[in-house]
Amino acid sequence: MKEKMRKLGVKVRQLCSADDFTLTMYYNQDTHVRFAQNGITQHIDGENLVLNLEVAFDDQTGTASINQIDEESIEMLVHNAEAIALLNMPDPEYIGTDGARKLRPLNKQAEATVNLDVKEMVDGIELCVNNAIEKEAKVSGISDKHIYKNYMMTKKGFQGYDERVLFSHSMTMKKEGVETKVSASVQDYSQFSMEQMIKQLNDQFDSLKEPQKIEKGRMPVIMRPQAFLQWLRYLAWTFQLREAEEGTSPYTDQLGKQFFGEKFNLYSTVDNPILSAPLFTRDGTPTKNISWIENGNIVNMQCDRFYAKLKGIEPAMMFNTVVDGGDDTEKEMMSKVKRGVILNNLWYIRPVDMKAGEWTGLTRDGVLYFEDGEVKHSVTNFRWNEILHDATKRILGLGKAVQVEHNAIVPTVLFDDFNFVDVTTF
């Protein structure tokens, strides 16, 4: 595929008369097996190659994309991108492309993932369904295999090629009032164990019998890694230097200052082989280790190429998520406070007030009530409205950081005074 992409790049270079261009090619080959209520309901397979060309005549830009690679289509791609640019108004924020950049060597892709076939994926689902039948429950979920290849070149000489393979599996088991979910994604399928995942599902499921209702209000929460990661994804969305400096985010004037709790450390890394880390970001910036928050201090924020140039800094993007953990077990966390709840997951997180950094959401996949260091019973779900950076100032404990997704390592966190504003009806 790399050679095929390179040749397509040569063709575009020959045809393109613009002052500058960036050609990006995305190839993906995906298999998805979706199951619901103990049976397979969808089964999808296919591949696709998309060519995206952004050209510039001076500072007039235009972009076109296609998913056909015959000569006529390539000519059309170049023609359309150039026609848009020539008819367009100048963009005062356009900056030219980069030249050659040194990239890290390509990671070797896991053979076990590449060679995973449909039969084996269905075998895995069969284990999950048989387990659910044994528990007189219903399981629903999806198994996915992805192969991604990505090539980028610019008129000024940047060339980058990257590959990634992934296997992911998620499943929700439900019986009457109890429903809970587990999910995982890994680069190397040989490191994945369906048996272990079923055990995790069963452990969660068994802990959630007959949920009781308790009052809303502020209380300590032990947020398990999957739940915390859901919230952090939204932090990444808003953690932009430009928005902060324009006054529309909570981070205005906070770069270089302590704004989060001192126990909170967040960074992206290229050094951990189990974490996926692209060789370059979508704007062609080579990735490197970068710290975002150190002991609560904001040390870097995400920034695109235009704004980075304006500020005289390097562009930066949160390409994976690592939060430092600690040594606390859940048992130890429970003993640090009188009472509280343990959350498996969060759901439907949306901003309430972008400037304040306030988010809302619900709990999902099971909530456990604890008191005097022990889990007492499961409880029904809550709605919460909470400010993330404020919540990190109320961290009382951190568990060991674990891999939650292919691109995230996050610990269990004990927050004090988490703001539950409503109890739900189930």
Partner 1 sequence: MKLLKFALDTAKSLGADYADIRVHHNLNEMIYLRNMSLKNTSQRDTYGYGIRIFLNGAWGFAHSNDLSEQSLIRTVKRAFTLAEQSGRIKYNGGLKLAPERSYVDIYNTPYEIDPFDVPLSDKVDLMMEVNKTMLGFKDIKQAMFMLGISKEEKLFASTLGTMLEINTMYIEPTFRATAVTPHDSQSRSYRNGGFAIGWEYMEERDWLEKAEKVAEEAIMKVKAETLKGEERRSLILDPMHLALTIHESVGHPTELDRVLGWEADFAGISFATPEKLGKYQYGSEVVNFVADNTLEKGLATAGYDDDGVPNQRWYIVKDGILQEYGSTRDTISQLGNGLSRGCNRATNYFDFPINRIPNLYLEPGQEELSPNDLIEDTEDGIYIEGQGSFSIDQHRVNFQFGGDMFWEIKDGKRVRPLKKIIYKSNNPEFWNSVDAICDRRFFGLFGVTNCGKGQPGQVGRMTHGAATTRFRNIRVGGSQ
Closest CA to 244 of 187, 194, 307: 307
Residues 226 to 245 in contact with partner 1, rule: CB under 8 A: none
The residue from 141, 160, 261, 315 that contacts partner 1 (CB under 8 A) is 141
Out of 96, 286, 351, 373, name the contact with partner 1 by CB under 8 A.
351
Interface with partner 1 includes 364 (CB under 8 A)?
yes
Rounded to an integer, what distance in angstroms lies between the CA atom of residue 31 and that of residue 118? 8
Ranges assigned E (strand) in 85-216: 138-154, 159-175, 178-186
Q: 56 to 95, contacts with partner 1 by CB under 8 A?
A: 61-68, 76, 80, 84-85, 87-89, 91-94
* Least separation in angstroms between CB 123 and partner 1: 9
Is 4 among the residues that bind partner 1 (CB under 8 A)?
no
Residue of the chain from 100, 209, 352, 376 that contacts partner 1 (CB under 8 A) = 352
Q: Is residue 32 a contact residue for partner 1 (CB under 8 A)?
A: yes
Q: Is 212 in the site for partner 1 (CB under 8 A)?
A: no
For residue 144, state whether it binds partner 1 (rule: CB under 8 A). yes
The residue from 10, 45, 257, 273 that contacts partner 1 (CB under 8 A) is 45
44 binds partner 1, rule: CB under 8 A = yes
Q: Does 263 bind partner 1 (CB under 8 A)?
A: no
Q: Is 350 in the site for partner 1 (CB under 8 A)?
A: yes
Does position 187 interact with partner 1 (CB under 8 A)? The reply is no
310 C-beta neighbours (distance < 10 Å), count: 14
Q: Is 41 in the site for partner 1 (CB under 8 A)?
A: yes
Q: Collapse the DSSP code of 141 into the 3-class scheme (helix H, G, I; strand E, B; otherwise coil) and give the result.
A: strand
Q: Are 380 and 426 in contact (CB under 8 A)?
A: yes
Closer residue to partner 1, CB minimum distance, 217 or 273: 217
In Å, what is the CA distance from 24 to each residue of 63, 159, 281?
11, 10, 11
End-to-end Cα separation, the chain, in angstroms: 50
Burial 7-25, CB ≥16 within 10 A → b, else e: ebbebbeeebebebbbbbb
Q: With contact defined as beta carbons under 8 Å apart, do 376 and 370 qualify?
A: yes
In the complex, the smallest distance separating the C-beta of residue 295 from partner 1, rounded to whole angstroms, is: 25
Distances in Å between the alpha carbon of 196 and those of 25, 114, 181? 37, 22, 14
- Return the number of the residue (28 or 258) whose C-beta is nearest partner 1: 28
Which residues inside 108-137 make contact with partner 1, applying CB under 8 A? 118-119, 122, 125-126, 129
Q: Which has the closest alpha carbon to 398: 210, 249, 225?
A: 225
Hey, which residues between 382 and 421 contact partner 1 (CB under 8 A)? 383, 385, 387, 419, 421
The reply to whether 355 sits near partner 1 by the rule CB under 8 A is yes
Q: In 85-95, which positions are buried (b, 16+ CB within 10 angstroms) versus exposed (e)?
A: beeeeeeeeeb
**Residue 164 within binding range of partner 1, rule CB under 8 A:** no
Q: Is 262 in the site for partner 1 (CB under 8 A)?
A: no
- Residue 365 C-beta: closest distance to partner 1, Å: 9
Window 287-326: residues binding partner 1 (CB under 8 A): none
Tell me the one-letter amino acid at 134. Answer: E
Answer for which of 116, 147, 165, 171 binds partner 1 (CB under 8 A) is 171
In whole angstroms, how close is the CB of 275 to partner 1 at the nearest point? 22
Residue 222 pairs in a beta bridge with: 342, 414
Contact call for residues 141 and 131 (beta carbons, < 8 A):
no
